[in-house]
Copies of this chain bind each other. A is one copy, B any other.
């Protein structure tokens, strides 16, 4: 991503793509504005024409990654398939997202702590920064929505007697952990591709609660 040979002016999305890559490789603290700028042939100063500050850029990446997956998950959760089939597809969708899209990986795997720990949305004057706070809240809302989708489908499965009456909340945490973790160990040139891993894991994960 962010191939952009140069010259042409750079747009928001290219920066987000580049930032996602840097972010997943280095993490929030180690990823510098200069790193990200270099990835799109800009100087760090120029990034501030596109994003208010590092937090804003950071949140834009997470939002992009989460939206990317969510946009695929929503229709699946809403469709007419059986809950176990829906869940299978959702799991695969998530895992493939993590392996194939840097922004998804960044949004899912690494930066949760940073988001919760960092004094994001508090500017240097100590005042709360409305825009950024709003973006952060929107991100958290999306995350909740994300998790809720899984819980909902699992709930449907339990209700329809397809799944055992397990603790859906815990099960979803388990799911997400296993799926997000793929972003930690997945190597593009490894033995298995993202879709194979997804299929394999979906099987094990769903068998675990199927009747």
Residues from chain B with Cβ under 8 Å of A164 in the complex: 207
For residue A192, which residues in chain B have a CB less than 8 angstroms away from its CB? 167, 170
Query: Closest residue of chain B to A177, judged by CB?
Result: B181
Structural contact, B185 and A117, CB atoms closer than 8 A: no
* Cα of A25 to Cα of B118 in the assembled complex, Å: 10
The tally of residues in A whose CB lies under 8 Å from a CB in B reads 49
Are A201 and B184 in touch, CB under 8 angstroms? no
Partner of A30, one of B1, B117, B166, B170: B117
Name 18 extra pairs, CB < 8 A, besides A26-B113, A27-B27.
A1-B124, A25-B113, A25-B117, A30-B114, A119-B125, A123-B126, A124-B124, A126-B128, A166-B204, A170-B204, A174-B181, A174-B205, A177-B177, A177-B180, A178-B181, A180-B181, A206-B208, A207-B207
- Residues of chain A touching chain B, judged by Cβ–Cβ distance below 8 Å, are 1, 25-30, 110, 112-114, 117-119, 122-128, 164, 166-167, 170-171, 173-182, 184-185, 192, 197, 200-201, 203-209
